[in-house]
Amino acid sequence: MSTMSALNVSIWRGAADGRFETFEVPHSTNQTVLDVVTYIQRLLDSTLSYRFACRVGMCGSCAMTVNGRPRWTCRTHVTKVAPDLRLEIAPLRNLPVIKDLTVDMSDFFIKWQRAKGRFAPTKTRSDPVEKIIPDSRARQAADAGIECINCAVCYAACDVVTWNPDYLGPAALNRAWTLQNDARDGDQRQRLRAVAGDAGCHACHTHQSCQEHCPKNLNPTASIAGLKAAAFRAALTGKL
């Protein structure tokens, strides 16, 4: 790993009423934004708070706002997002800042539960395993959204969350949609009730910021559209 030049890095310090603090960090090839933050925390200012775990794009804990856009920092190369070698790193939007780059994720996960984003089994271990047809329409719809890593990038990117703090958000609704299409799940009617409403799928404006920013290239907007249609049908047939 060769060092080429210096990065000018502005990092948010403090809580909501904090400010940006600037650091100079050596730039190297294949350097990620998380590498930059880690360099600062380990060598320049050990009081810097941030969150990470796996460093390989699986755990969803290192998301931050990088040069104005929410991103997973462990898989974001500096050269890709800061060709002028200037980085501004802030906490995720739409979540309360605890300190520096760490946000309180409680609302995000509470909404996941409120959307009944929990698998409700219909069989016991003594029952035969459910046969799932991989290319069935429902299974393909579930598969399309199932790789979510709960990073909250979509939640931070969503303007509707900003405008309506009760809105469940793209991740929770995407999770609900995958379960609505899971043949093994037994709570689909209650879940549809939970996600249909002013704070649920009908609040989505189809801006598609969630799809634009999702690091896993998922399309929560499409999942939400599926929920809207399902709620529409259920309401008309008296099943909501």
Closer of 16 and 236 to other proteins (Cβ): 236
**Among 198, 217, 237, 238, contact with other proteins (rule: CB under 8 A):** 198
| Binding status of residue 214 toward other proteins by CB under 8 A | no
Comparing C-alpha atoms, which of 177, 189, 170, 5 is closest to residue 94?
Answer: 170
Closer of 37 and 156 to other proteins (Cβ): 156
Query: 3-state DSSP helix/strand/coil percent for the chain, to nearest 5?
Result: 40, 20, 45
For residue 126, which amino acid is it?
Answer: S
**Which whole-number Å values give the CA distances from 32 to 36, 72, 238, in the listed order?**
7, 10, 52
Binding mask 152-191 for other proteins (x = CB under 8 A): --------x--xx---------------------------
| Binding status of residue 49 toward other proteins by CB under 8 A | no
Quote the DSSP letter at residue 121. B
Asked if 174 and 218 touch (Cβ cutoff 8 Å), the reply is yes
Burial label, 28 (beta-carbon count in 10 A; 0-12, 13-18, 19+): middle
| Binding status of residue 115 toward other proteins by CB under 8 A | no
d(CA 230, CA 183): 15
Closer of 46 and 237 to other proteins (Cβ): 237
Count interface residues toward other proteins (CB under 8 A): 17
Quote the DSSP letter at residue 231. H
| Binding status of residue 194 toward other proteins by CB under 8 A | no
**Among 92, 149, 196, 224, contact with other proteins (rule: CB under 8 A):** 196
- Beta bridge partners, 10, equal 22, 88
* Smallest distance from other proteins to CB 230, Å: 10
**Among 16, 236, 237, 238, contact with other proteins (rule: CB under 8 A):** 236
Closer of 10 and 164 to other proteins (Cβ): 164
Segment contacting other proteins (CB under 8 A): 83-91, 134-142, 169-177, 224-232? 224-232
Quote the DSSP letter at residue 151. -
**Among 13, 202, 207, 216, contact with other proteins (rule: CB under 8 A):** 202
| Binding status of residue 226 toward other proteins by CB under 8 A | no
Asked if 149 and 199 touch (Cβ cutoff 8 Å), the reply is no
Asked if 234 and 240 touch (Cβ cutoff 8 Å), the reply is yes
d(CA 40, CA 235): 54
**Among 145, 200, 215, 220, contact with other proteins (rule: CB under 8 A):** 200
Q: Report the interface residues with other proteins, using CB under 8 A.
A: 160, 163-164, 193, 196-200, 202-203, 228, 231-232, 235-236, 240
